[in-house]
Amino acid sequence: MRKSKLVSLEDAARRVENGMRIAIGGLAVNQHPMALVREIVRQSRRSLTVIGSLNGIETDLLIGAGCVDSLETSYVGLEEFGLAPNFRREVERGRLKVTEFSELLQFDRFRASQDGLTFALSNALAGTDILVHNTQIREIVCPFSGRRYHAVPPADPHVVVVHAPVGDEFGNVLVPERRVLPHNLDLVMTRACDIVIVSVERLVDHDTIRRSAYLNQIPAFRTSCIVEVPWGAHPCSMQGYYDVDRAHFRQYVTAASSEERFQEYLAHYVISPATHFEYLERAGISPGREGQWAAESRA
Amino acid sequence: MPDQPASLYERLAVVISRAVRDGEVCFTGLATGEATARYCTLVPVLGMTLAQCLHAPNLTILLAGWCHNPAPGSLTSIPTAEFSPEILNLDCESQSPEYPWSFSIRRGEVDVGFSSGAQLDREGNLNSVCVGDYERPKVRLVGPILQPEHLALFGREIIMMPRHERRTFVEAVDFVSGVGFPGGRAGRQALGLTNEGPALVITPKCVFDFDSEGAIRVASIHPGVGRSELRADTSFDLGVLDDVPWTPDPTEDELRVLRGEVDQVGLLRPR
């Protein structure tokens, strides 16, 4: 009998352990696995290192909840909603260690891990203060051209957490035919490490996967566990399903701008809801009701 | 309203239209905050679209780095997110689903980049990482993002600064995330950088360029901005400003095409 990898949200989040290096899918305000991130907070995970390129509310939430000791990234921000308030406050108080990388280099560090290489290369860092503060960087010389590059270690996450449209109980995951950068960067992440945790908007039967095998870009053998979480990226957008919840983002930014009010936000939206569906209810979402643009842009 | 004088944003779009050349490949990226999105994405994209309509039909716009050549007039709101439904559904001619895809930054295939930051200094260095001491910053900003690549690997850079104040135009930036001309053009070359680097800096008060030594200088001042005001709002010395011209008015033709074909809804004329 083939093994089912279907688990509860609680059990999925338990695969993330204290002190791990974690890569979180999604980009800027899109497609972050927010339900899993909230569950990681509920379980009081500590001392995480978050590795990413265009991090957003998922990282800011973990920082505000005290789960993160250090970050390796090129961006933490909320696009139209401005700076990430918890990230900003903790760095300004000297309580969070950030190792700076350029965006392209962060993409490449995951590609290096995907391919089992022991370094990634950049030719864009000369003259920047990234070289002053990031002690992981070494200069190397190309043996063929003599050109100088900067080498950095691969991303090497212990665990990767992503949110995707649909999957089956064995851990096969379909991504949309129409893929844009957030999907593809997520896929690189899932191929860069051994523990891959996936939440999906909808669980489908195995035959559905077989009929669309060409869309199965996270095949079962890669997946450690899978959990069904409708609206699992809320308040971020999920292409083809729902747009960014702007009102919730604004509420988040206001709350996170003070430590005290952020604790109230955490209590109301993260700690006290007994289930993801109770969270959705508090956030004013009824599962099944999709964003206005879902019908026209579903992939 | 063809008789209305050009708004600031229209004027800047025309500056950009004249600064790009036929055949070039031009890149705009991610912006944080709506003011920055308007300045750093909307104005460049509409300026380049104007260029395509007037003198550069073979110019390629990479909106948000992935949406190629949006049709003139198709943009009807400020693109505030790289993967917003507006951009996903925009009338365009190619979409890059992945990076690298049809173009590669490291192969030198981007001719012009547009970027922005919280601080810019007299050497043209750009900062989007922090204000104040790095270890205990007064303000922690978003991070270096793609700025190292913009300034080191794109052909040349047009830097869009949405605020012209003493705290944004500083003697030396608190963190160099995009490299200008440290030690002048020779210093830049000594770093092994072979591209042009910053070419223009466009602010709400003036346009800067860089002289043959790599020192920043005021190329033009926007009409209505006084020379003493400009000095007061800039931390570094601007030198002699007597002969600096006004930023030119758009021609009748430029304004007609801009309002009639590129920006019918008036995004560049905010109320």
The token duo for B51 is: 């260029």
Selection from B125, B114, B122, B117 nearest residue B79 by Cα: B114
pLDDT of residue A287: 74
Q: A5-30 burial, b for 16+ CB within 10 Å, e for fewer? A: bbbebeebbbbbeeebbbbbbbbbbb
pLDDT above 50 for A291:
no
pLDDT above 60 for B1:
no
Neighbours of A34 (CB within 10 A): 27
Question: Could A75 and B152 be called an inter-chain contact, meaning their C-beta atoms sit closer than 8 Å?
Answer: no
Cβ-Cβ contacts under 8 Å, B149 against chain A: 102-104, 124
Spell out the residues 6+ positions from residue B7 whose beta carbon is closer than 8 angstroms to its own. Answer: B268, B269, B270
Q: Which of A72, A108, A128 is best to mutate for the B interface (most B CBs within 10 A)?
A: A128
The ipTM value here is: 0.96
Cis peptide before B137 (omega within 30 of 0): no
Give the three-class secondary structure for A86: helix
Residue B29 near residue B245, CB atoms below 8 Å: no
Cβ-Cβ contacts under 8 Å, A105 against chain B: 148
pLDDT band at A288 (very low <50, low <70, confident <90, very high): low
Burial of A84 per CB tally in 10 Å (0-12, 13-18, 19+): buried
Selection from A63, A67, A62, A65 nearest residue A47 by Cα: A67
Neighbours of A163 (CB within 10 A): 30
pLDDT band at A292 (very low <50, low <70, confident <90, very high): very low
User: CATH number of the domain that B153 lies in?
Assistant: 3.40.1080.10
Top-confidence residue, A248 or A287: A248
Spell out the residues 6+ positions from residue B130 whose beta carbon is closer than 8 angstroms to its own. Answer: A91, B137, B138, B139, B140, B141, B174, B175
Neighbours of B243 (CB within 10 A): 5
Question: Could B88 and A182 be called an inter-chain contact, meaning their C-beta atoms sit closer than 8 Å?
Answer: no
Helix orientation angle between B8-19 and B43-54, rounded to the nearest 10 degrees? 50
Mean pLDDT of A228-232: 97
pLDDT above 60 for A293:
no
Neighbours of A213 (CB within 10 A): 10
Task: For residue B202, tell me if it sits in a domain.
Answer: yes
Cβ-Cβ contacts under 8 Å, A145 against chain B: none
Share of chain A above pLDDT 70, in %: 96
Task: For residue B73, tell me if it sits in a domain.
Answer: yes
pLDDT above 60 for A295:
no
Q: What domain range is B92 assigned to?
A: 8-262
pLDDT above 70 for A169:
yes
Mean pLDDT of B217-242: 97
| Domains: count for chain B | 1
DSSP H helices, A159-258, are: 181-190, 206-211, 246-256
Q: Which residues sit opposite A166 in a β-bridge? A: A174, A202
Question: Could B192 and A181 be called an inter-chain contact, meaning their C-beta atoms sit closer than 8 Å?
Answer: no
Cβ-Cβ contacts under 8 Å, A80 against chain B: 32-34, 37, 80-81
CB pairs < 8 Å spanning A and B: 159
Which one of B88, B138, B149 has the shortest CB-CB distance to A297? B88
Mean pLDDT of B107-112: 96
pLDDT of residue B31: 85
pLDDT of residue A181: 94
The token duo for B185 is: 């053009």
Top-confidence residue, A294 or B194: B194
Residue B191 near residue B153, CB atoms below 8 Å: no
pLDDT of residue A294: 42
Question: Could B98 and A27 be called an inter-chain contact, meaning their C-beta atoms sit closer than 8 Å?
Answer: no
Selection from A235, A266, A211, A229 nearest residue A28 by Cα: A235
Question: Could B32 and A82 be called an inter-chain contact, meaning their C-beta atoms sit closer than 8 Å?
Answer: yes
Cβ-Cβ contacts under 8 Å, B151 against chain A: 124
Mean pLDDT of B175-203: 97
pLDDT of residue A165: 97
pLDDT of residue A299: 37
Mean pLDDT of B200-226: 98
> CA B164, B166, B167 angle in degrees (round to 5)?
95
Residue B46 near residue B259, CB atoms below 8 Å: no
Cβ-Cβ contacts under 8 Å, A130 against chain B: 144, 148, 177
Question: Could A123 and B96 be called an inter-chain contact, meaning their C-beta atoms sit closer than 8 Å?
Answer: no
CA–CA gap between residue B86 and residue B91 (Å, rounded): 10
pLDDT above 50 for A44:
yes
pLDDT above 50 for A296:
no
Which of A294-298, B221-225, B262-266 is least confident?
Answer: A294-298
CA–CA gap between residue A139 and residue A82 (Å, rounded): 35
**Domain A9-118+153-283: CATH superfamily, name plus number:** Glutaconate Coenzyme A-transferase (3.40.1080.10)
Share of chain A above pLDDT 90, in %: 95
Mean pLDDT of A133-158: 97
Q: Which residue has the tokens 């959705």?
A: A280
